[in-house]
Amino acid sequence: MAKKAPKNAHKAQSPDTKGKRIEFDIETWQALDVMARERMMTFQELADEAFRDVLKKYGRPYDVRDALKKSARAADAEKTPTPIKKKKAGRKAPNSKRPTGGGSRRARS
């Protein structure tokens, strides 16, 4: 006779993961389930992608590697002075006031 799997056997969490239970309305759950099946992804992979996209949208690092890249860019930006733009000396912009055509025009024959 086969042994029964433990109640929490479906949870394949590594020691460096954290879980959170969330609830969806039925329509949202069905749409996400269909999407995961169409893309041949697990629901967890779909959720990981979605949360990574949200973090990216708001400019937050989503892992250590991304945090280090952002930190290096910020440090490089502080070291590199921004050049001051100088105004070009030259002629002034032409006056854009033109006659409105309210006067009389000569008719061509």
CA 13 vs CA 6, 49, 83: distances in Å: 14, 17, 50
42 vs 89, higher pLDDT:
42
- Tell me which amino acid residue 72 is: A
For residues 43-53, average pLDDT: 91
Write b or e for each residue in 58-96: b if 16 or more Cβ atoms lie within 10 A of its Cβ, otherwise e.
eeeeeeeeeeeeeeeeeeeeeeeeeeeeeeeeeeeeeee
pLDDT band of residue 2 (cuts 50, 70, 90) is: low
pLDDT over threshold 90, residue 95: no
Confidence at residue 3, expressed as pLDDT on a 0 to 100 scale: 53
Per domain, the residue ranges of the chain are 26-79
Long-range contacts of 63-68 (CB under 8 A, 24+ apart): none
The structure's pTM equals 0.49
pLDDT tens for 77-94 read 777 666 677 766 666 666
Confidence at residue 73, expressed as pLDDT on a 0 to 100 scale: 79
Confidence at residue 66, expressed as pLDDT on a 0 to 100 scale: 80
With a CB cutoff of 8 Å and minimum separation 6, the contacts of 51 are 62
CA atoms within 13 A on the CB side of 18: 1
If DSSP codes are grouped into helix, strand and coil, which group holds residue 66?
Answer: helix
